[in-house]
């Protein structure tokens, strides 16, 4: 009897520690966003799944809300500075938010819990989501590590490649809907290459697009999932606090120098998720 009580006490303490670490992770998400202007959202799903033990479908839904809200904070800050190109944002965002909403409202709920079996190994919906998310993490890490995008001159005339921007919007929206991450590493190159936006405007406009499509995508989950608003709002609020701390630290630390190091961290995390999901 004594042993069972002790075990239960230790289990409760362990869960409390894990929960505290999860909320510290929320602060870290905002901190990274504030310091390097992106990338933090790629950590939201792993923190929710591995630190707070949420189901991947729930985690990707909550991630959309966290990512959308925190990106909105950054977008408002950029709008005040006149850095957001609204025409480009609307052209890109419309197909993106249609795709992300349809993905969350209809595609995700229709995916069966058990997809297929390889020998004795069952590939489940949750496993597929986490593996796909890990692949996105690896691609994002490579983008951050290489970071060799050429700057576009501020006076360059913006030339819209409408078909490619619309296609890219649908692709990014679908990926965002599946993994619950903002997809900034896909959006920013598209804005630079297809709309010829200068890098600073591309980053600012990207945050605005991410905020719109993530929050609209989350609406697709509200009609299908039971949302723990108390937890979600606390987690999001902590993340927003992290953003303001990161913005303040940015005055003393060069975010660009941190970006490559963070890229290596995301690379290791992506490899860990693949290993954990397949072999542990």
Q: What is the rounded distance in angstroms from the CA atom of residue 63 to the CA atom of residue 68?
A: 8
pLDDT tops 60 at residue 247 = yes
**Mean of pLDDT values over 195-224:** 84
Contact 91, 162 (CB under 8 A): yes
Q: Are 100 and 59 in contact (CB under 8 A)?
A: no
Task: Please say if the pLDDT value at position 7 is more than 50.
Answer: no
Tell me the average pLDDT across 39-68.
Answer: 87
Please give the pLDDT value at position 255. Answer: 64
Mean pLDDT lowest among 9-23, 28-42, 257-271:
9-23
Q: What's residue 62's pLDDT? A: 92
Is the pLDDT confidence value at 233 over 90?
A: yes
Residue 229 has pLDDT above 60, yes or no: yes
Res 17: pLDDT = 75
* Residue 153, CA atoms < 13 Å, CB-side half-sphere: 3
- With 90 as the cut, is the pLDDT of residue 235 above it? yes
Q: Which residues touch 164 (CB under 8 Å, ≥6 apart)?
A: 190, 194
In this predicted structure, the answer to whether residue 178 has a pLDDT above a threshold of 50 is yes
pLDDT of residue 188: 79
**What is the secondary structure of 222-273 as a DSSP string?**
HTTS---HHHHHHHHHHHHHHHHHHHHHTTTS-HHHHHHHHHHHHHHHHHHH
Note the pLDDT of residue 199.
75
pLDDT-above-70 percentage for the chain = 86
Q: Nearest Cα to 39, choosing from 133, 136, 140, 174? A: 140
Decide if pLDDT at 18 tops 50.
yes
pLDDT at 155 over 80: no
- Confidence at residue 3, expressed as pLDDT on a 0 to 100 scale: 45
| Number of helices and strands in the chain (H, E) | 11, 2
Report whether 219 contacts 101 (CB < 8 A): yes
For 158-170, the pLDDT digits (tens) are 666 778 888 888 9
pLDDT range class, residue 244, cuts 50, 70, 90: confident
With 90 as the cut, is the pLDDT of residue 65 above it?
yes
1-15, 104-118, 212-226, 263-277: least confidently modelled range: 1-15
Name the more confident of 102 and 2. Answer: 102
Identify the band that residue 151 occupies on the pLDDT scale cut at 50, 70 and 90: low
- Mean confidence (pLDDT) of the chain: 82
Contact 92, 206 (CB under 8 A): no
State how far the alpha carbon of 194 is from the alpha carbons of 151, 166, 208, 209, in Å. 13, 10, 17, 15
Orientation angle between helical segments 86-102 and 184-194, nearest 10 degrees: 140
Q: Provide the β-strand partners of residue 121.
A: 118
């Amino acid at each position: 009897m004594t042993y069972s009580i002790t075990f239960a006490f230790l289990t409760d303490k362990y869960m409390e520690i894990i929960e505290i670490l999860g909320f510290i992770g929320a602060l870290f998400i905002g901190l990274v966003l504030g310091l390097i202007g992106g990338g933090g959202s790629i950590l939201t799903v792993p923190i929710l799944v591995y630190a707070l033990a949420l189901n991947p479908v729930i985690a990707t839904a909550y991630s959309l809300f966290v990512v959308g809200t925190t990106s909105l904070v950054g977008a408002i800050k950029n709008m005040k500075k006149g850095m957001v190109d609204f025409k480009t944002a609307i052209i890109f965002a419309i197909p993106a938010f249609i795709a992300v909403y349809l993905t969350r409202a209809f595609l995700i709920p229709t995916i069966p819990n058990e997809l297929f079996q390889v020998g004795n190994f069952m590939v489940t919906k949750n496993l597929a989501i986490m593996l796909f998310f890990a692949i996105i993490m690896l691609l994002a890490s490579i983008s951050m590590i290489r970071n060799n995008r050429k700057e576009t001159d501020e006076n360059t005339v913006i030339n819209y490649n409408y078909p490619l921007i619309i296609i890219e919007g649908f692709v990014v929206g679908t990926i965002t809907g599946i993994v619950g991450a903002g997809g900034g590493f896909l959006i920013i190159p598209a804005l630079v290459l297809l709309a010829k936006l200068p890098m600073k405007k591309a980053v600012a406009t990207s945050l605005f697009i991410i905020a719109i499509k993530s929050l609209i995508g989350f609406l697709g989950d509200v009609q299908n999932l039971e949302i723990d608003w108390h937890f979600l709002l606390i987690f999001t609020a902590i993340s927003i606090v992290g953003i303001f701390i990161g913005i303040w630290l940015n005055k003393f630390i060069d975010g660009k120098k941190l970006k490559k190091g963070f890229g290596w961290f995301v690379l290791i995390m992506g490899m860990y998720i693949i290993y954990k999901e397949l072999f542990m």
